[in-house]
Amino acid sequence: MNFFKTILRNKNLSIVLGSQLVFQLGIWFGTIGNLQFLQTHIESHFFQAFFLVMGGIIGVIIGPYAGRYIDVTLKVKVLRLVGVMRIISVIAMLIAIYTGSIYWMMIYSIGIGCSASFFNPTIQTILPLIVDKEDLITVNSININIITLSRIFGAVLAGLLLK
C-alpha cells in the first residue's frame, strides 16, 4: 500500500503515469481501429500485416536517433513534440477514415510508431528524476503494469466499440 502513497504524494508522478495510461490506451484503440480499416479496404492479409507493422518498423529504425535526441533535449520539450506528433497522426487517421485512403492510414501508423519511439524512453528517463531512489523499483513496476493492462483493456474496449 506504500506505492499508493508514493503516487498520491507526487503530483508529477501522477501526471506521468496518467499520460502513460492514456498514451497506451490510445495506441491500442488506434491499432484495433487501424486493423478494422485495413480489413475493410485491403483484401490481402499480407498487405494488411505490412501496413500494420510499418509504423513499428519505422519506430525501431529511428529509435537510436530518438534516444540521442532525448538525452540532449529537455524532457518537457520531447513530450510536447510527441503530443504534436500524435495530434498529426490522429488527424491523418481521421482523413483516412473520411477518404478511405490507405496512404493516410500509413501516415498515421508511421506517426504513432515514431511518437512511441520518443514517448516511452522519455518516460523511462523522467521516472528517476521525479521519484526517490528507494521507490524507483516500485514505480517502474507500476509503469510496466500500466502498459500491460492498457494493452489488455485497450484492445478489449476498442473491440467492443467496433461491434
Cell numbers at 82, concatenated: 510527441
SS3 per residue for 18-33? HHHHHHHHHHHHHHHH
What angle (nearest 5°) sits at the alpha carbon of residue 141, between those of residues 55 and 16? 65
Which tens digit of pLDDT belongs to each residue from 65-117?
999 999 999 999 999 999 999 999 999 999 999 999 999 999 999 999 999 99
pLDDT at 57 over 90: yes
pLDDT at 147 over 90: yes
pLDDT value at residue 25: 93
pLDDT value at residue 85: 93
pLDDT at 1 over 60: no
Largest CA distance in the chain: 53
Q: Which residues contact residue 101 at a Cβ distance below 8 angstroms, ignoring those fewer than 6 apart?
A: 95
Q: Within a 13 Å sphere around the CA of 86, how many CA atoms are in the beta-carbon half?
A: 19
pLDDT value at residue 6: 65
CA distances from 87 to 7, 26, 161 (A): 28, 11, 21
Residue 21, classified by CB atoms within 10 Å of its CB into exposed (0-12), middle (13-18) or buried (19+), is middle
**pTM of the complete model:** 0.85
Phi/psi region, residue 88 (left: phi>0; alpha: psi -120 to 50; beta: rest), is: alpha
pLDDT value at residue 51: 87
Q: What percent of the chain is modeled with pLDDT above 70?
A: 95
User: Exposure pattern of 112-133 as b/e (b: 16+ CB <10 Å)?
Assistant: bbbbbbbbbbbbeebbeebbee
Region 32-56 average pLDDT: 90
Average of per-residue pLDDT values in the chain: 90
Q: Where are the alpha helices (DSSP H) in 42-135?
A: 45-72, 75-99, 102-130
pLDDT at 49 over 80: yes
pLDDT at 5 over 80: no
